[in-house]
Structure 1
Amino acid sequence: MRKIITVVVLFIAFFQSTTVVAQDLLKSTDLSMLKVDYLSDSDIAKIKTQLQTNNVTIEQAEPMALSKGMSATEFAKLKERLAMPATPSAVVKKDKNDSDSEDSATDKEDAFGRKQEKIVNTKVKDSLNALVFGSELFDTPTLNFEPNLKLATPMNYILGPGDELQVSVYGVQEFNASIPVSIEGKVTIQYVGQIAVSGMTIEAATQKIRAAIAGVYSTVRSGQSQVSVNLTRIRTIRVTLIGSKQPGNYSISSLATVYNALFLGGGPGKNGSYRNIELIRNNKVFTKVDIYDFLVNGDQSSNVGLKDNDVIRIPAYNQRVTVEGQVKRPGIFEMKTGETFEDLLSFASGFNEFAYTASVNVLQKTDREFKVRDIKASEYGTYKPLSGDVFRVTKILNRFENRIKIDGAVFRPDTYSFYEGMRISDLVLKADGLKEDAYTNRARIIRLQSDLTTEIVNVNLAKALSGDLEADVALKKEDVVTVYSILDFVDEFKITIDGEIKKPGIYDYYENLTLNDLLVEAGGLTGSASKRVEIARMIQSETIDDSNPNKAELFNIEITATNNEQAKNFALRPFDVVNIRKMAVYEKPEMVTVSGAVHYAGKYVLAGKKDRVYDVIQRAGGLTSVANVEGVRIKRPIQAKQIEDLENVNLNLGKKDSIQNKLEKKLKEDLKYATIPVDWKSIVKNPKSNTNVTLFPGDEIEVVPFNEGVKVTGNVLLTSEIPYDPSKGFRYYLNAAGGIDAKGWKKKAYIIYPNGKADVAGSFLFIRSYPRVVPGSQIIVPEKPEVKKMTAGEWVGIGSVISSLALLILTAFK
């Protein structure tokens, strides 16, 4: 009794531990006792929820589970269960004699309501037979030969325990029930009784059930009601696989076939046959299955249906051979007795497009050693491969048996077929003849000799094409004929034109090219072109004339500047340089801008070569009443040449010095113009004053409106604008802005006047003087430069040096 209690407690503890582990897969420390087959659908759902909550995929959880003791087989089962879609439970009426295993089985249901127990098998990649032809058939999940439940029930389907029938009476009387076939092979229909149907076809069972119901329902007997019998649940049967990669007993659908069972078993094992698989029924070989019939011809005649207790035996193969090289499907193939190399070639899908098909090399094994044999094409239908043969199909040679080539000055340069007796005139004719520029005095043949060295054969094409048999040499295969062009021997001459022309540049020279031709080709003369044209021509001589210092001959000619067609059409020569001169006076009107407090602001043309500030402001109506007479300035754009000059100046600051780089960057990016201050009062008194500067095109004269404030910025406590007080000086405005902050450099404070001029504070004999302040000025206090303070270590070092020097001096004077 005590032993029984111990066993019961252990059994309960086992299931409880399995449930707990299942509900806490990630947190559990020991998964060695987890059995996936004992997990319910709710346990699987909890594991899914747990993985989703922790954002962990089943692939990421695999190393964690294996490290906690879970076997690879159990994890594969768990992965399969998690991948199955959740299905709502269906209420199915079952016979009280149905087994508990069937009650707990997971069913799958098609669109028509027919159900089948879910068949699950963990697939293992076939690495042992990877090269064997046919092994890939059992590694493809989509090709599992699973029976289709949506098809009509076969009329010869044999009923047995586990099947379920839908029996319906419709018409005047109605009855509907799902009735399972019991273990005794009977169905129990209400008011009708038990009817034995096991071993009967669905058609025969339908007739028997209809007759039994007719005995109870009078309307069925009279034809007023009809009876239908449908198979709604298909039973599972057990078959045994021997010699497969995963041998064992399998529960599969009663509609399953041999191929479906082979797929579940993973196909033949390491040494299993693919061509002599035996289906054993009632202890006798019912049929033999050759998978190659399906793979090569698509023939499934041997894919017969299975019955309960069938045995599928996969014996060891008799002979296998290997095919390598240039076939469409290389690999290892199983051969039957009597099959030839032609059959093997069909298994390999034949030669590919690069195969050498005249013969095949085969490596054979004897009782003691290897031997090599060549099989000619005539023996393909008679040679019978031996076990262990290795057939090697090589590539064709990378050479041509009848190639000949012609290129150069022919209409169709290409590669052509060669035939014995072909001459060079025949090849030229194949290439549609010579071009007009062909050089007929000589053609070249590069010929490959018998020792694979090359030689050159020269041909007079003119004689060869005129019928001279001696000149019309015979060709050989692999000859390369080159026909030269006379254009290959002509120099490529150029001519240059520059100056007042729309498209200056270098142009090709042609015979009889004239100045008029070149002017038109270069787009014609510009409006600023003068009548003067200079043409430079190179001097050519067979001897050196030391008395002539000239490098070129110059021609000065006059043209009609308004006409591209000149009356005197000057003939040009190769490498001439033509320069079209510009008119002596041809300048487009250039403008300056006047803005600010003037009567007529806007753009003004510089009428004179030396227009000054005063002149242009007077043209703009003079200053307005609100103008600041001390706020007249000129903004002059910085020219690209100024930046270039700065880049070319060496400030001796070293390569890539930051000071010069910052200065160049400031001119290019920050400062778009330079400011020129103007003393308007001096100009009014004396227009010839040096501050009355000459204007350049693009200048902008800016007259600032009068402003009574003085702006204080920089390193002050409060940036502000202080009202102007004529009785106050520079320091007053600094103090009015709150004074200098901690970083301010007071002695370097400066002022910018309204006209752009600047002034800085100075000192003489310890007396500091500050610049005067006018309305509209801006006072700026810069920041002190950072000074690196000496560290304590540096002070100690200096003290040590001074001590050493003092000691040396004392020693020297002793």
Structure 2
Amino acid sequence: MKKIITVIVLFVALFQSSSLMAQDILKGNDLSTVRVDYLSDGDIAKIKSQLQSNKMTIDQVESMALSKGMSATEFAKLKKRLGLPEETKTKNEKKGTKKNTNDSDLEEGEDESEDDIRKQEKIENKKIKDSLNSLVFGSELFDNPTLNFQPNLNLATPVNYVLGPGDELEISVNGVQEFNDNVPVSVEGKVNIQYVGQISVSGLTIEAATQKIKGAISHVYSTVRSGQSQVDVSLSRIRTIKVTIIGSRQPGNYSISSLATVYNALFLGGGPSKNGSYRNIELIRNNRVYKNIDIYRFLVTGDQSDNVGLKDNDVIRIPAYVNRVTVEGEMKRPGIFEMKKGEHFSDLLNFGSGFNEFAYTASVNVLQKTGKEYKVADIQAAQYGSYIPLNGDVYRISKILNRFENRIIIDGAVFRPDTYSFYPGMRVSDLIRQAEGLKEDAYLKRSRIIRLKDDLTKEIVNVDLGKAMSSDANANIELKKEDRITVYSILDFKEEYKVTIDGEIKKPNIYDYQDNLTLNDLIIAAGGLTGSASKRVEIARMIRAEAIDDTNPNKVELFNIEITPGSNEQSTNFELKPFDVVNVRRMAVNEKPEMVTISGAVAYPGKYVLASKKEKIYDVVKRAGGLTTLASLNGVKIKRPIKKDQIEDLENVSLNLGEKDSIQNKLEKKLKEDLKFSTIPVDWSAVTKNQNSNANVTLLPGDEIDVSPFNETVKVAGNVLLTSEIPYNKNKGFGYYLDAVGGLDAKGWRNKAYIIYPNGEAAVTHKVLLFFRSNPKVVPGAQIVVPEKPETQKMSTAQWVSISSVLVSVGVLLVTAFK
């Protein structure tokens, strides 16, 4: 009976709280018992009107509702029933009414893994590139947007994590009894668990809070006490804490994750300001310096011991630097470095990763400031561990000298030309033996040594290499460092001879000449003769003489040789000389059969070989069986391929149209890309009457004879109202066909209308008398084309006024002249 009364009381309380919630969400003092599932649609409508009348959104009242005890789960349900966009839904909304259900009740398509991700308020920070501080060692740490020290929210909750207002716990009971809820930590530091009540957890670690919550739940769920159900407590939402950063590039108050660390906050603040310290940053907690942070420990050694966690209301203070020095030159990481008291130049070298491979390491030059003027000092290598850098020092690390301490060079006709180490007392023969000796083509009469004198000028020392290698003490001179010995080759003094072969040879080219080279050798080297080679070979040889012979007009000496083309050999082998030019002549008669094509209305269309050098069109048509009865006598034409030399001829002709005029360019482009053939119209009636007439065109290889079939219509195209084909009427003229298609359109140019006959010939209308025009004759299969009238620019009013003014002025002058 007591249980029934308890249930009734709870139901009444829930109903009353829901009614209060519906009456005014903004005025209620205790919203902990609100259950959105019990609100009617009318109640939801009242809440919407309340929000609208107060000009507020549901997101704006979230913090207030949570502070008055409303659970995050219920608030998420309220947002969902108010019809918020999908992207604003929280984890609790996605769970909906699945609270107190098992995993089998998950909706289809819901990604359970997303529910398991710990939430955190999104923090945005735009990085500003620090150009003023870019040389300071460590500034790049805070300019890189891919490096932010953001805490990983997916890691297990640290057992020493201290709870506070704004955190949210996920509490679940699994086993015989089941329960699941997400409860926020209120501003009073309490969590309100359904059927359990409020539990204070603020200031407790997550481990201690878990034990306290388990104890409280065990008083309500008896199976927890008996061990038949287990309680799990995890952190589902991380609270946001406030920290203050002073002395950074972007100082101010920052809202960051309670899991954030010092480096994370420094990154958000942009790092130290222009004069900020990188090595003495203070973390102030409860008005005392809790930690001194030295960023160099992390940059140099990767030590993150200074990267401690932050707490609410922590202050990070970045004071001004005390001692900064600059390193220039041959350091692996030059820049501006901050030095602490007691650190030495060797520590500075460690910060900059040491000297690079080109550095002069024996000493370092430093420019110091004395308070009145500058001072220059040199730090020797032995002082690196004891010299203490001063504020404002500028260290200049120079390069090693571009010279060698013990270098000597040998090149030329030795087996291993290279650079070798010099030692005192080294002689010419010693260096040559070190270079594996002389080559067979070495020139022994003279070798050259280029020597650097004491004043750095150069001199040449000549050596008799043959005597030096024979242990002649005078010739085998002693060497000095930086000597460069050149051993000449006898091949260097020999001219490189060539011979040339051209003509009917497979590989015409210029070939190297060797002693005893014959014509047969050269022909074989050039791949042999082609099939069109004749037996005649002409050899041109240069004339060489000490004196000029004016009686001899010849520039070269010519030799005519007969060979056997089939065997690439000659009976008497001709010996060649340097610079001979060999020409293998082509056979006088050696032409491959060439063809033309005939298509259209003939008896036997196809390809035909030109039987004679002057084969006519009549002959080929006759060989093709003549024209058929369907052929048009006005439709015989020849399409001749445009050759490359025709395009080149056009390119070589200047039309004097100016550089910017495109007419000639258009003509060249049309020939190259658009027109592949030129058309030759044929008057077949004239050909059949007289085969000797000019109409009987001589054919060329590649020509295509096209015989069009008879067409009974006349096509009219261009700028006419209707492009069409009109049946041919022998009693009608040019104008009849234009009228038959509706006449010309607004842009048609009647005076330039022309006709294209079936054989490709064209004719245009022309004037006979002042007002009379002669139109071309129309035949079956012809095509009438009306071109577009060119656009003309009308004269403006100002131009007419100008012309009128000129005419008036001329009239006045004439009147004045005849007075």
> Equivalent residue for 2:516?
512
Aligned length: 712
Matched, 1:545 2:542: no
Q: CA deviation at 1:376?
A: 0.4
- 1:367 Cα offset (Å): 4.6
Letter in 1 for 2:566: T
| Residues 545-580 of structure 1: per-residue CA shift (max 9 Å, x gap) | 122222222222222232202221111112222232
Structure 2 residue identity aligned to 1:509: Y
Matches within 5 A, 1:221-300: 259=263, 273-277=277-281, 288-300=292-304
Provide the C-alpha distance between the structure 2 equivalents of 1:110 and 1:767, rounded to a whole number of angstroms.
92
Give the Cα separation in 2 of the matches to 1:799 and 1:656: 38
Change (3 A) 1:435 1:183: same
Residues 337-486 of structure 1 correspond to what in structure 2 (within 5 A)?
337-486=341-490
Letter in 1 for 2:393: D
| 8 Å CA contact retained: 2:686, 2:695 | no
Are the counterparts in 2 of residues 678 and 755 from structure 1 also a CA contact under 8 Å? no
The whole-number CA distance in structure 2 between the counterparts of 1:213 and 1:761 is 113
| Conserved 8 A contact 1:638-1:674 | no
Determine if contact 2:751/2:765 at 8 Å carries over to the other structure. no
Query: What are the superposed Cα offsets for residues 209-235 of structure 1, whole Å, 9 maximum, x if unpaired?
Result: 777888998877776776666667777
Does structure 1 retain, via aligned residues, the 8 Å contact 2:92–2:182? Answer: no
- Give a deviation string over 1:386-406, Cα, whole Å, max 9, x none: 333332222222332233333
SS of the residue 1:350 aligns to: coil
Moved more, 644-653 or 633-642: 644-653
**Cα deviation 1:371-429 (Å, max 9, x = unaligned):** 22111001111122233333222222233223333333333333333333333333333
Change (3 A) 1:646 1:203: closer
Q: Answer whether contact 1:717 1:737 (CA < 8 A) is retained.
A: no
> Is 2:529 the partner of 1:529?
no
Write out per-residue CA displacement over residues 319-348 of structure 1, whole angstroms, 9 at most, x where no aligned residue. 333333322333333333332211222222
| In structure 2, C-alpha distance between the alignment counterparts of 1:276 and 1:656, rounded to whole Å | 72
Which residue in the other structure is 1:105 paired with?
Answer: none
Deviation at 1:705, TM superposition (A): 5.5
Contact 1:751 1:760 in 2 (8 A): no
Q: Deviations over 1:221-254 (max 9, x none)?
A: 7767766666677777777767666777777766
One of 672, 677, 692 as aligned partner of 2:677: 672
Kept after mapping to 2: 8 A contact 1:751/1:771: no
TM-score for both structures, normalised by structure 2: 0.68
Residue 480 of structure 2: SS of its match in structure 1?
coil
> Alpha-carbon deviation of 1:291?
3.6
Does the Cα contact within 8 Å between 1:722 and 1:736 map onto a contact in 2?
no
The equivalent residue for 1:88 is 90
SS in 2 for 1:332: strand
Alpha-carbon contact 1:712-1:722 (below 8 Å) kept: no
Which residue number in structure 1 is paired with residue 24 of structure 2? none
Q: Which amino acid aligns with 2:90?
A: P
Instruction: Report the TM-score when normalising by structure 1.
Output: 0.68
| Residue of structure 2 in register with 1:95 after alignment | none
CA distance in 1, matches of 2:379, 2:310: 44
1:360 Cα deviation from its structure 2 partner: 1.2
User: Contact 1:241/1:311 (CA < 8 Å) preserved in 2?
Assistant: yes
Q: Please, which moves more after superposition, 583-592 or 734-743?
A: 734-743
Pair 1:429–1:181, CA change in 2 (3 A): same
Listed as ranges, the gaps of 5+ residues in structure 1 are: 1-37, 46-84, 93-108
State the SS of the aligned residue for 2:424. Answer: coil
- Alignment partners' CA distance in 2, 1:553 and 1:785: 67
1:88 partner amino acid = T
Whether the 8 Å contact between 2:597 and 2:608 is mirrored in structure 1 is yes
Please say if residues 677 and 757 of structure 1, whose CA atoms lie closer than 8 Å, have aligned partners that are also in contact.
no
Indicate if the aligned counterparts of 2:596 and 2:609 stay in contact, CA closer than 8 A.
yes
Contact 1:538–1:576 (Cα < 8 Å) also in 2:
yes
Q: Which moved more, 1:538-547 or 1:479-488?
A: 479-488
**Letter of the 2:406 counterpart:** N
1:572 is matched with which residue: 570, 576, 580?
576
After TM superposition, give the deviation of residue 135 of structure 1 in Å.
Answer: 4.6
SS of the equivalent of 1:293 reads helix
Report the CA distance between 1:676 and its aligned residue. Answer: 6.3
| Equivalent AA in structure 1 for residue 563 of structure 2 | I
Compared with structure 1, are the counterparts of its residues 516 and 382 closer, same or farther at alpha carbon in structure 2 (3 Å cutoff)?
Answer: same
Q: Does 1:330 align with 2:334?
A: yes
Cα distance in 2, alignment partners of residues 788 and 222 from structure 1:
104
C-alpha change, 1:420 and 1:633, in structure 2 (3 Å) is same
The 1:788–1:186 alpha-carbon spacing in structure 2 relative to 1, beyond 3 Å, is: closer
**Does 251-260 or 564-573 show the bigger shift?**
251-260
The residue type paired with residue 475 of structure 1 is L
Instruction: Specify the alignment match of 1:498 in structure 2.
Output: 502
- Aligned residue for 1:344, secondary structure, equals helix
- State the one-letter code of the partner of 1:341: F
Secondary structure at the residue paired with 1:497?
strand
Match of 1:477, as an amino acid? K
Deviations 1:585-636 (A, max 9, x none): 3333344445555444444444445555555554444555555667766666
Q: Distance in 2 between matches of 1:655 and 1:253?
A: 71
Q: Distance in 2 between matches of 1:237 and 1:316?
A: 26
- Give me the CA root mean square deviation: 5.6
CA–CA separation in structure 2 for the residues paired with 1:201 and 1:712: 97
Letter in 2 for 1:398: N
SS in 1 for 2:358: coil
Aligned to 2:585: 581
- Please say which of residues 253-262 and 601-610 is displaced more in the overlay: 253-262
Shift of 1:127: 6.9
Report the secondary structure of 2:501's partner residue. strand
| Distance across 2 between alignment mates of 1:215 and 1:766 | 122
SS at match of 1:392: strand
In structure 2, the residue matched to 1:104 is none
Aligned to 1:320: 324
Aligned mates of 2:624, 2:388 — CA distance in 1: 113
Tell which deviates more after alignment, 656-665 or 572-581: 656-665
Q: Aligned letter for 2:455? A: D
Q: Given that residues 734 and 776 in structure 2 are in contact (C-alpha distance below 8 angstroms), is that contact kept between their aligned partners in structure 1?
A: no
2:81 counterpart residue number: none
CA distance in 1, matches of 2:222, 2:758: 125
Deviation track 1:479-503 (CA, whole Å, cap 9, x = no partner) reads: 3333333333222323233333333
Q: Secondary structure at the match of 1:345?
A: helix
- How far apart in 2 are the matches of 1:665 and 1:246? 64
Cα gap change, 1:190 to 1:467, in 2 (>3 Å) = same
